[in-house]
Amino acid sequence: MGLFDKFKNLVKKKEEILEEKDTLLTYEKGLSKTREDFVSKLNLLGIKYTKVNEEYFEELENILIMADIGVNTVFSFLERLRERVKKENITDTSYLNEVIVDELFIIYVNNESLSDKIHLAKEGPTVILMVGVNGVGKTTTIAKLSHKYILEGKKVFLIAGDTFRAGAVKQLEDWANKTGAMFYGQENADPSGVIFEGLEKARENQADIIFIDTAGRLQNKVNLMKELEKMNRVIERIVPGAPHETLLVIDATTGQNGILQAKSFQEITNITGIVLTKLDGTAKGGIVLAIKESVGIPVKFIGLGEKMEDLQAFDIESYIYGLFKGMIE
């Protein structure tokens, strides 16, 4: 079980440097609710069933589906698992637990070299566009990212492209003031026009990183998706090669619809990564595994609260480590 061993070693290594690296601690803190639940269930499963039988699989299916991992992903995963159990003649449930982690890891990694880094422009400003359905936390995420980059010494500029929702411009402006970012916004205006003006202003002010907030749009609203296309054209015209990153914000409580969200947004604009928000609740955000598997978009950041510090770069090892810690020990 090469991959798993590698992974396990990684986990061990992480444990050694745990004290220096608070990334992991934050992950653990934020995900503790999620992990406790998931792991205790898997552990219970191991205690309840000493042998691998039909009931074991049924309960495993329950656990995975309850984590929102995605119905099709779960079913094909279980099929593979059954095959492996048959082929390798696995009867021991504690050994099977390891196989489960292994297989889940494979789903996400899928032999790709994962880039969870933010792609910065070689020259001139980096433009990052935020998109997503309503209420997922786009504006708050921009605030968090803005805070992060300002701490790194970058000049950050925020553009309020959500001219539709009441109070959205003011919300971003408040955050700009709090984080110390520059800001441009105009209420009740055409978003593409605002972006145009904003980008010009950001360039005049020599911003290093420009975040563009957009209105929440349900992915089946044709006119709103077209509006997004137009915004992209405007951005490209002013800053060639931009947007350098288009981040899709997904709420961790989202169910199967998350896959449709990723697919539809991907069709309109080149999504370069996902920000998984609200992981500080009880939701497991398992849908990102299905999204990675079926649409191929990696997660770049996770949101773990409402404060501007509550953001972490996504790291699949820490994520799975967080989910399965109790199980491996």
Binding site for other proteins (CB under 8 A): 33, 62, 65-68, 71-72, 133-137, 165-168, 170-171, 173-175, 178, 218-223, 251-258, 260, 278, 280-284, 287, 306
Q: Order of strands across the sheet with 299-303? A: 182-184, 156-161, 209-214, 126-131, 245-251, 273-277, 299-303, 311-313
Look-up of token digits 């297989």: 103
Sorted by sequence, the CB contacts under 8 Å of residue 87 that are 6+ apart come out as: none
Which lies closer to other proteins via its Cβ, residue 93 or residue 171?
171
Measured from the CB of residue 314, what is the shortest distance to other proteins in angstroms?
19
Cα–Cα separations (whole angstroms), residue 217 to 138, 195, 214: 11, 17, 9
Nearest Cα neighbor of 73 from 301, 255, 320, 327 is: 255
Beta bridge partners of 157: 182, 210
Measured from the CB of residue 124, what is the shortest distance to other proteins in angstroms?
30
Which lies closer to other proteins via its Cβ, residue 128 or residue 259?
259
Measured from the CB of residue 175, what is the shortest distance to other proteins in angstroms?
6
Nearest Cα neighbor of 259 from 217, 222, 291, 284 is: 291
Which lies closer to other proteins via its Cβ, residue 157 or residue 175?
175
Measured from the CB of residue 159, what is the shortest distance to other proteins in angstroms?
16
Which lies closer to other proteins via its Cβ, residue 217 or residue 300?
217
The DSSP call for residue 297 is: P
Nearest Cα neighbor of 292 from 114, 132, 78 is: 114
Classify residue 27 as exposed, middle or buried by CB count within 10 Å of its CB (0-12, 13-18, 19+). buried
Measured from the CB of residue 277, what is the shortest distance to other proteins in angstroms?
8
Question: What string of H, E and C letters represents the secondary structure of 186-207?
Answer: CCCCCHHHHHHHHHHHHHHCCC
Which lies closer to other proteins via its Cβ, residue 4 or residue 57?
57
Phi and psi angles of residue 211, each rounded to the nearest 5 degrees, phi first? -105, 130
Measured from the CB of residue 33, what is the shortest distance to other proteins in angstroms?
6
Q: How far apart are alpha carbons 105 and 103 in whole angstroms? A: 5
Q: How far apart are alpha carbons 276 and 63 in whole angstroms? A: 21
Are residues 120 and 241 in contact, defined by beta-carbon separation less than 8 angstroms? no
Measured from the CB of residue 279, what is the shortest distance to other proteins in angstroms?
11
Measured from the CB of residue 39, what is the shortest distance to other proteins in angstroms?
16
Amino acid at the residue 226? K
Which lies closer to other proteins via its Cβ, residue 65 or residue 328?
65
Measured from the CB of residue 144, what is the shortest distance to other proteins in angstroms?
13
Phi and psi angles of residue 311, each rounded to the nearest 5 degrees, phi first? -140, 140
